[in-house]
Amino acid sequence: MFQQRRTTNLFQASLTTMALIYHMTVYKLRKSERSAIVGLLMTILRGMMMVAVFYALFTIIGVRTSPIRGNFIVYIMTGIFMFMTHNQAITAVMSAEGPVSPLMKHTPMNTAISISAAALAALYQQLLACTVLLLFTNTFIEPLGIDRLVPCLGMFLLAWFTGCCIGLVFRAAQPWWPRGITIISQFYMRMNMFTSGKMVVANTLPHFVLRMFDWNPLFHVIDQTRGFAFINYTPHNSSLMYPIYVSIALAMIGLMGEFVTRNQVSLSWTAGR
């Protein structure tokens, strides 16, 4: 029992890492609720409430048809699902176990595994909620006409990946300024309610208004998603490559920051506070 565990080759090390990520993902899914089913149902209910609130809001202000010629519910869902997945990915990565967590005392564990597991758990929850709501709406409310489903799924993954990269940057900086980074991250996620563009159509925005949105990679993801979802809509004011380039740059910054922080952080940082 006191022998150190060693891997003999790269293939065995890869299998060990994947197994650890799988078990940590399950741990993350079951951590918030005693029952995994209850946790998944709460995620689905949260997504359903968001869609219902925005549907009611558009109905109250008199917008009962989609600004894009097509299904109104698809227009709402393409914004809500990307927004929720993006923000949940940021929260999951930031709250993953750090280098001073008790779980890191076990030899095979490291922060890369905990971050990957937290991100995959958030992706699993949001993908399941999205699938259930789409099937429920298509079966019991009205048929949903989505032009290109597979590219829409790719944009869903891009929204998640962009959130993971932004969360990684926040995570790397958080031990150096805990309260400030928490406030900044919360401000960014709240600001996404407006700057993500989930309630507007990019092609209809004038240039001076577009400048308030086009810095946000989530805005580009949502607009490109609507280009794939609606056969009559072609995005002109957003780019598919912009969120990809931004995500890669933020991932590199976050990984370098995480490496520096992991080597410097200790339990005594907050002892005198």
With cut-offs at 50, 70 and 90, classify the pLDDT of residue 272.
Answer: very low
With cut-offs at 50, 70 and 90, classify the pLDDT of residue 183.
Answer: very high
pLDDT tens by residue, 78-90: 888 899 899 999 9
What CA–CA distance (Å, rounded) separates 143 from 115? 38
- What per-residue confidence (pLDDT) applies to 169? 93
CB burial of residue 144 (10 Å; 0-12, 13-18, 19+) = middle
- Which range among 17-31, 45-59, 95-109 shows the weakest confidence by mean pLDDT? 95-109
240 Cβ partners below 8 Å, 6+ apart? 220, 224
- Which range among 27-36, 130-139, 180-189 shows the weakest confidence by mean pLDDT? 27-36
Q: Angle 256-258-261 (CA atoms, 0-180°, nearest 5)? A: 110
pLDDT tens by residue, 98-156: 776 777 666 677 788 888 888 998 898 888 888 888 888 888 777 777 878 889 999 99
Domain boundaries, the chain: 16-265
- What per-residue confidence (pLDDT) applies to 217? 92
